[in-house]
Structure 1
Amino acid sequence: MKSLESELERARDLDESALADAIEAIGFECTRCGACCKAKTGGCGGEADDQSESDPHTATVFPDEIRQLQAAGDYDFRDVARPMPYGLEEGPDGPEGETFEWALQTDDCGDCSFYAEADDGTGACTVHEDRPLICRTYPFSVALGGTSQPMGEAVDEEGLVRAHECEGLGRDIPRGEAEELAAALKARAVRELEEAIGVRDSYRPTDPADGEVVVHDSEGAKRPDGTPYER
């Protein structure tokens, strides 16, 4: 298995032109359907009858991206982010345990809290200019060890660029937009690996008490409100 450091070097050496070629070859245009911003099942108007059965929108957001979003709209930390649910257990008073990284906050429907929908069903991001890298690059990802890899089909010969299911795939994309997306895709791969290394190096077991949630990111252990966790 390759080390995170070697994968980071691979990410930094990615050829943006080659990434753009792959994106241009498959094609993409956002249709503003909102599928990538909403709960996958259940939620408001979904298939599940109980919110506990739903699959809320879950998108990774890094500490610096959280601060950027906070500054953009004068939001509190919890308005922007929530503990990544993976690894947490459901206790008597709600989730508890240790988890790694943050997810964008969701509303009562399980949709991204920054998602808005017009009467005609057209979706929009209310923080579009400050949206995280994972949102900027959807539905594409780079398949390197230590990066987020949505299930998807390879769209280049090396199998490095992956495309997640999205109704906007297959549509013509101008070269300039493909290059812009490619640059964001490389930046995301680098950022994900830098964060993974930071989490690994800063992690210290915390043994949270019953009912407590501790989030480990590259800056250390934190409480759900983003403040440092100290016992």
Structure 2
Amino acid sequence: MKSLESELAEARALEEDALADAIESIGFECTRCGACCKSEEPSASKDASGEFDDRQASDGTDPHTATVFPDEIRDLQAAGDYDFRDVARPMPYGLVDGPDGPSGETFEWALQTDACGDCTFYEEDGEGVGACTVHEDRPLICETYPFSVALGGTSQPMGEAVDGEGMVRAHECEGLGRDIPRADAEDLAGALKERAIRELEEAIAVRDNYEPVDADEGDIVVHDSEGAKRVDGTPFEDAS
């Protein structure tokens, strides 16, 4: 198995022209269907170990789950004067449901969701056309969807993967197969490389900074590249 450092070196060596070629050959145009921003049917959503996640939204679907970096959370906070918890929630993987709600330790943040499990920043007009209310400040995982880079330390969006070329993978999306201008493919390629690098840098920092904490029963602790935090983004300090 390759080390995260080896994967990071590969990510930094990715050729953007080659990524753009792959994206252009696959083709993509956003149809604003909102599928990538909405909750998922239980049968289509699995957790990091491949098991189905039973933490469901009020309508029985699995909440939309998109990873977000600590600095991206701050950017979104600044964009709309939001509180931390308006923007992000602990990634559910690794948490255990108890009588007082989920608790435990997890290692990523996810974009916040509404009662229906949709991204809190997603809205539709009267004709069902979707829009991101923070589009200019959206996280890299949203900017690059439905594409990802096939490196071991990077995350893969929800959905069935469609075979791409080389390092690029395209995930199930109704916008695939549509003509994409070269300039747009190049912009996507640049964002895709940046995302791959950032995900691996984050993973390495989480690994290097991780220290077990003495959490009380019912507490949630999120370990990110900046250390252990509470659900409101403030540093977690052991009671002892």
TMscore range, shorter length: over 0.9
Count of paired positions: 223
State the alpha-carbon separation in 1 of the partners of residues 153 and 57 from structure 2.
34
Query: Corresponding residue for 1:140?
Result: 147
The answer on 1:191 being equivalent to 2:198 is yes
Q: Secondary structure at the match of 1:216?
A: strand
> Sequence identity, in percent?
76
Q: Secondary structure at the match of 1:36?
A: helix
Query: Corresponding residue for 1:181?
Result: 188
State the alpha-carbon separation in 2 of the partners of residues 50 and 149 from structure 1.
22
Question: Structure 1, unaligned stretches of length 5 or more?
Answer: 43-48
Query: Corresponding residue for 1:3?
Result: 3
State the alpha-carbon separation in 2 of the partners of residues 213 and 111 from structure 1.
22
Is the CA contact (8 Å cut-off) linking 2:147 and 2:171 kept in structure 1? yes
Q: 2:229 aligns with which of 212, 222, 231?
A: 222
Is the CA contact (8 Å cut-off) linking 2:29 and 2:178 kept in structure 1? yes
State the alpha-carbon separation in 1 of the partners of residues 152 and 206 from structure 2.
15
Q: What is the CA distance between 1:205 and its match in structure 2?
A: 1.1
State the alpha-carbon separation in 2 of the partners of residues 50 and 134 from structure 1.
22
Structure 1 segments, 4+ long, off by >6 Å, are none
Q: What is the CA distance between 1:209 and its match in structure 2?
A: 1.6
Q: 2:124 aligns with which of 117, 127, 135?
A: 117
Is the CA contact (8 Å cut-off) linking 2:146 and 2:173 kept in structure 1? yes
State the alpha-carbon separation in 2 of the partners of residues 53 and 3 from structure 1.
38
When normalised by structure 1's length, the TM-score is 0.94
The answer on 1:78 being equivalent to 2:67 is no
Map 1:6-155 → 2, pairs under 5 A? 6-41=6-41, 51=58, 53-150=60-157, 151-155=160-164
Deviation per residue, 1:147-192 (Å, 9 max, x gap): 0023512310x3x110110000000000000000000000000000
When normalised by structure 2's length, the TM-score is 0.90
| Aligned partner letter, 1:154 | D
Query: Corresponding residue for 1:46?
Result: none
State the alpha-carbon separation in 1 of the partners of residues 60 and 213 from structure 2.
30
Is the CA contact (8 Å cut-off) linking 2:114 and 2:120 kept in structure 1? yes
Q: Would the alpha carbon gap of residues 84 and 52 (structure 1) be closer, same or farther in structure 2, given more than 3 Å must change?
A: farther
Q: What is the CA distance between 1:54 and its match in structure 2?
A: 2.1
Q: What is the CA distance between 1:50 and its match in structure 2?
A: 7.2
Q: What is the CA distance between 1:117 and its match in structure 2?
A: 0.5
| Aligned partner letter, 2:109 | W
State the alpha-carbon separation in 2 of the partners of residues 62 and 139 from structure 1.
18
Query: Corresponding residue for 1:45?
Result: none
Is the CA contact (8 Å cut-off) linking 2:57 and 2:115 kept in structure 1? no
Question: Structure 2, unaligned stretches of length 5 or more?
Answer: 43-55
Q: Secondary structure at the match of 2:35?
A: coil
